[in-house]
Structure 1
Amino acid sequence: MKSFSVLLSFAVIAAASPLSAEQAPLGAGLMTSYPGFSLDLNALRLVQIEGQAPAWMTELEKIQAKAQGIKFFDITETQDLGASARLQTKPSFPSLNATKKVRPILKTLSTKGPKENLKKFSSFRTRHYRSDTGKQSQQWLLSKISQITKESASKSLQQLITLTEFPHSWGQNTIIVKINGSSSDDGVVVIGAHQDSTNMWPFLPAPGADDDGSGSVTILESYRALIAADFHPERNVEFHWYSAEEGGLLGSQAVAKDYETRSVNVLAMSQFDMTAWVKRGTQEEVGIITDFTDAGLTKFNKELVELYLDIPYVETKCGYACSDHASWGKAGYPSSFTIESSFENSNKNIHSQNDRIDISDEFSFTHMLEFSKLAVAFAIELGGWSDSKAA
């Protein structure tokens, strides 16, 4: 396997946000530890960059690569992810036919919950996956999901819902909520976001309001509205909040590997990563990622936007391994990714102390609500609705 220094010389620098004036320079004088962190900068990790053989690099070299806009999978624990991908069969996606079920729920979506939840979620010093506050934020999110389930779901629906932690060695666990389907169809519909945050220099504060606090509370609001409407799906519908996306898609790779190993029939996975930013002077749009995604599912997402949202979509690209949908694609499952805008118009405050709710009026909770609509429509149109199970 090649060394990182050789690999870096050949790597294509992707269009990720570069270090800005507000982000910490990766030079001398920066703290190399912080109370509550278990991050060893000299630890070796196996990393995969597009078009290159996997290479060993240190955690520090991973940080430096990320700062240069290089996107990668950290495959140290998931080297065989996708080994049986050829066995997966990709389904066709149906014509939209659930408007009578979807539209009433869209009217119940609110910015109230997302505002309250994101204020709390972004108040942790950092949600870095190797920090104590990252573990605390995960436990807070778990308790909030549990509270919403108890307050919003009917007794019959609560019996169909399981809330679990998918454990990881670094301590911040992925959260998986499953609404069990009523039919014999073993298909699974997955809606995801990542819960962790990072500063470009990880020991510094990282409120992560947009990246990806926004996506996390966006799908949480969708979940609340669905269960409040007594949504009894025909197929299994799952909501995932991944750990350690910022470390190289570690959490989602672990989950996707588990599902692949167990031959779980994932019909579709939709990722929500950054849903809040509307750049001043630009048209409000939904960015639909067209590279490294499933073409059929991406087309389906476009149709959902056109039918159910109040704003148009714009096609955009984000490169290799740019969010958790990539883990599912690598495992052979159809995956898609929607983002707040075209990639070039997205929030440039991410990975810094300035990724805050109050940094600008460009941070919009009404914009986030459009993505909550999308997740609701995705769940119902693909998960189905069992009227016979309604309470």
Structure 2
Amino acid sequence: MYQMLLFAGPSGYLFRPCLGDNARRAAHQTPELLQELNVPEGQTLHVLTPEATEQIPLPYPEAIPQQPSERYSVRDIIRRVINTLSEDNLRENLDGLTSFDNRYYDSVSGRESQRWLFERISNITTKSVSHTTSSYVSVQEFEHPWLQNSIIAQIKGKTDELVIIGAHLDSLSISDPEGPAPGADDDGSGVVSALEAYRAIISSGIEPNLSIEFHWYAAEEVGWLGSQDVVKAYTQRGARVRGMLQFDMTAWVKNGTREEIGILDNCADEGLRNLTTEFVAKYLAIPSVSTKYPLDYCSDDRAWWEAGYPTIGVLEGTFENANRLNIHTQNDRSDISPEFSFSHMLEFSKLAVAFAMELGGVAG
């Protein structure tokens, strides 16, 4: 036994089938399809005009929200955000970050560089948030027992479940911990690729379904100490994480090789690996390639992986083609070679936008 209630709308009609006291969600039909609807013998089809619907209460109290996906797809929204990404912002942010002698986690320079980055992210947030997003975007420092803190920026969604994009803000000289280590590629490139994605998302005015967080970790180079602290705190509070994506080196395109996104097999959730491969194909101008660190090494994604969270890491290409000669030295600079590519870094910003918004969704 059921009846149908139809509601006229600007692009068609909404009807709601009723089964006793149980409501099914509304379905959307065009006028042509409505003409073909059959009403069971002995039942009544109530057709309501727009005027009548204002006077007659709906049989169910909840409204029928017009979700963004009914007007335009999430893919369209993501591409619109991607189109606002800027190489100039990458250059400006990286120039500032690499102006410090080093970013060693327990040094004065390491602390000063982290404070600079925190203020930079805070200023970008203030300038970029719209009136609709300002109430649910926040930036804070995560304190550690050493001098350098981690930084967490959150775009709060409808739920507390998280999508996380990570990079590490420290650097290291292999010859002298506090010696010159500009860390442009390792991991200044990942830091600013993530930062530009963050700026574009909060500038869009879009509220996600899941909460999106961008993490810039301290002390990765000495054993993922910063991310381990963060993961411990999140685990203790019972945080739910849909997926964590780590950027560690996003700038280098080795001469004579194909430009590509390296998707790491280390510390990799199979589902996230497949999704990340799909996002690269869908939104980026370059292909992806499967690669692996030797000895099952990972970056900050290892801290999340070992705690049981789904993670995936990406690299500037295959491990064999990565910028291994310059990192952890004074030569890790953006001007060291034409192989250091800001346009390549921007592809990772695109990936961060896609990962965050595909997994995080768009609230209605």
Please confirm whether the aligned pair reaches a TM-score higher than 0.5, indicating the same fold: yes
- Cα deviation for residue 315 of structure 1 reads 0.4
Distance of 1:154 and 1:144 partners within structure 2? 18
Counterparts of 1:314 and 1:254 in 2: how far apart (Å)?
Answer: 31
Q: Which residue of 2 aligns with 1:198?
A: 172
Normalising by the residue count of structure 2, what TM-score does the alignment of the two structures yield? 0.78
Q: Which residue of 2 aligns with 1:240?
A: 215
Equivalent in 369, 373, 386 of residue 346 of structure 2: 369
How far 1:151 moved relative to its partner? Answer: 0.6
For 2:233, the equivalent position in structure 1 comes to 258
Equivalent in 290, 294, 300 of residue 324 of structure 1: 300
* 1:335 counterpart residue number: 311
Task: Measure the CA separation in 1 of the matches of 2:260 and 2:182.
Answer: 24
Larger radius of gyration: 2
Q: How many Å separate the matches in 1 of 2:296 and 2:219?
A: 17
Q: How many residues align?
A: 289
Is 1:283 the equivalent of 2:258? yes
Q: What does 1:169-184 correspond to in 2, within 5 Å? A: 169-182=145-158
**How far, CA to CA, are the matches of 1:291 and 1:323 in structure 2?**
9
Matched, 1:354 2:334: no
SS of the equivalent of 1:241 reads: strand
2:140 aligned to which of 137, 160, 164: 164
Q: Cα deviation per residue 1:251-304 (whole Å; 9 max; x = unaligned)?
A: 001101111111100111000110000000000000000122111111110000
Give, as a single letter, the amino acid of the residue that structure 2 aligns with 1:135: R
Choose the corresponding residue for 2:201, options 191, 201, 226. Answer: 226
Larger proportion of strand: 2
Q: Secondary structure at the match of 1:247?
A: coil
Higher relative contact order (CA 8 A, sep 6+): 1
CA distance in 2, matches of 1:215, 1:118: 10
CA RMSD of aligned residues (A): 1.0
TM-score normalised by length of structure 1: 0.73
Within 5 Å, give how 1:1-391 maps onto structure 2: 98-182=74-158, 185-201=159-175, 202-318=177-293, 319-348=295-324, 349-387=326-364
The one-letter code of the counterpart of 1:142 is F
Question: How much identity, in percent, do the aligned residues show?
Answer: 52
2:267–2:313 Cα contact (<8 Å) kept: no
Give the partner amino acid of 1:343.
Answer: F
Partner-residue secondary structure (3-state), 1:244? coil
Is the contact made by 2:166 and 2:215 (CA closer than 8 Å) also made in structure 1? Answer: yes
1:320: how far off? 2.9
| Residue identity opposite 1:194 in structure 2 | H
For the residue of structure 1 that corresponds to 2:140, the secondary structure is strand
Tell me the secondary structure at the aligned position of residue 164 of structure 1. Answer: strand
- Large movers: runs of 4+ above 4 Å: none
What are structure 1's unaligned runs of at least 5 residues?
A: 1-96
| Cα deviation digits, residues 153-191 of structure 1 (max 9, x gap) | 012311101211110011100000111112xx3311000
Give, in whole Å, the separation in 2 of the partners of 1:226 and 1:270. Answer: 16
Instruction: Return the alpha-carbon distance in structure 1 between the equivalents of residues 281 and 328 of structure 2.
Output: 32
Residues 211-245 of structure 1: CA deviation (Å, up to 9, x unaligned): 00000000000011111111211111000000000
Segments of structure 2 that go 5 or more residues without pairing to the other structure are 1-72
Do the aligned residues in 1 keep the contact of 2:172 with 2:328 (CA within 8 Å)? yes
Distance in 1 separating the partners of 2:116 and 2:287 = 34
Distance 2:243 2:208 in 1: 15
What SS class does the counterpart of residue 296 from structure 2 fall into?
Answer: coil
Contact 1:321 1:327 (C-alpha < 8 Å) held by counterparts: no
Please report how far the alpha carbon of residue 204 of structure 1 lies from its aligned counterpart in structure 2 after TM superposition: 1.5
Deviation at 1:322, TM superposition (A): 2.2
- Aligned equivalents of 1:253, 1:312: Cα separation in 2: 32
Partner-residue secondary structure (3-state), 2:152: strand
